[in-house]
Amino acid sequence: MSQAGLVVKKAGPLALVQDAGRFGVGHLGVTQGGAADWIAFYWANWLLSNPLNSATLEIVMGGGLTLVAHGDVRLALTGADLAATVDGQPLAPNASFTLRSGQQLVFQQPRHGLRAYLAFPGGLNAPEVLGSRACTAREQLGGLEEDGQPLKAGQYLTWQGNDRSSRTLPEGAGPVMPTSGCRLPMVLGSQASSFSGRSLYQAFNTPWQVDNRADRMGVRLTGPVLSGTLSGIISEGIPLGAVQVPPDGQPIVLMNDRQTIGGYPRLGALTPSACAALAQCLPGTEVWLTPVSVSHAQADYRRQHAKWATA
């Protein structure tokens, strides 16, 4: 191990290599993958002056993931507070820090949020497959061993660059973890009119609970039963954040590892920022769907990207 790196002493339940995602391959049936909370992901790379799409670790739940340093390195941690410690000392999220040779970085159970992002100088080393290093388990693509699987004990993590100048988040900037009652902006889709008036009223005027049946493919919301005139449609392309309503009337928000086509009617699609927020919601979190215009969603997306250019 002549190259500095981190040894995976203990693998948590789900630590995945993720970058900005895999695009331009949907016609092959390959989903986009990529960081579920893209806002926290970009801030992690920004803190280390990396290209914003550099590969990071997406750490879900923590679960005792333990990394041991072989050589000194400057890292950055953003997103969820997973009670991270360095040699037992608490480590605050949304900041860069130096991990000295021999020190242990440990992630435990979530305090706020669900997914943390650990960035490395120049980006984490992993083979590029179809233009991305992102892990997608269903397609068995990406990751350290090109199999789409989470980290395993004994693996050795290295990075592409040298320590660069680190940054500090401007006051009031950085990712914000959602709290119960958060609102999720959504652009209505062409099939929204097929739902009954009562269902549309309930969809946007009653709270939903994030179900424990949630993963990188989709997040099920539980609440009032939605109904309409369509039980199914001819399968069509599925965008990030699509809100499908299967026959049981409980919406499923499709996330980064979703299938590329689907045949359930859709209320619409969450905005990208709403998808990032939902990716940080623990089961049981109360959320509200809020309809917005396309122009509103586009303006919000541009404002978010402008933060990295001006921070």
pLDDT in tens, 270-290: 999 999 999 999 999 999 999
Predicted local distance difference test score (pLDDT) of residue 263: 87
Residue 208 predicted with pLDDT over 90: yes
Residue bearing the bigger pLDDT, 263 or 255: 255
Calculate what percentage of the chain has a pLDDT beyond 90.
83
Span of 131-140, 153-162, 168-177 with lowest mean pLDDT: 168-177
pTM of the model: 0.95
58 contacts 18 by C-beta, under 8 angstroms: yes
In which band, very low, low, confident or very high, does the pLDDT at 55 lie, cut at 50, 70 and 90? Answer: very high
Which tokens belong to 266?
């859709």
Mean pLDDT of 120-126: 96
Mean pLDDT of 86-92: 94
Residue 96 predicted with pLDDT over 90: yes
Residue ranges per domain, the chain? 5-157, 182-310
Nearest CA to 57 among 138, 139, 191, 150?
150
Residue bearing tokens 């209505």: 188
> Is 101 strand, coil or helix?
coil
CATH class of 182-310: mainly beta
End-to-end CA distance of the chain: 37
Predicted local distance difference test score (pLDDT) of residue 2: 65
Predicted local distance difference test score (pLDDT) of residue 1: 58
In which band, very low, low, confident or very high, does the pLDDT at 170 lie, cut at 50, 70 and 90? Answer: confident
Mean pLDDT of 66-94: 95
Q: Rounded to whole angstroms, what are the CA distances from 267 to 162, 174, 191, 271, 294?
A: 46, 30, 6, 13, 14
Average pLDDT of the chain is 93
> Is 203 strand, coil or helix?
helix
In which band, very low, low, confident or very high, does the pLDDT at 165 lie, cut at 50, 70 and 90? Answer: confident
Mean pLDDT of 228-246: 90
> Is 30 strand, coil or helix?
coil
Task: Count CB neighbours of 222 within 10 A.
Answer: 16
Mean pLDDT of 210-231: 93
Mean pLDDT of 129-138: 93
d(CA 234, CA 11) in angstroms, rounded, equals: 42
Task: Count CB neighbours of 141 within 10 A.
Answer: 22
Residue bearing tokens 């919000």: 300
Nearest CA to 276 among 184, 180, 200, 164?
184
Nearest CA to 107 among 14, 39, 32?
14
In which band, very low, low, confident or very high, does the pLDDT at 179 lie, cut at 50, 70 and 90? Answer: confident
**DSSP state at residue 151:** P
Collect all residues with Cβ–Cβ distance below 8 Å to 260 and sequence separation of at least 6.
Answer: 26, 29, 30, 31, 237, 238
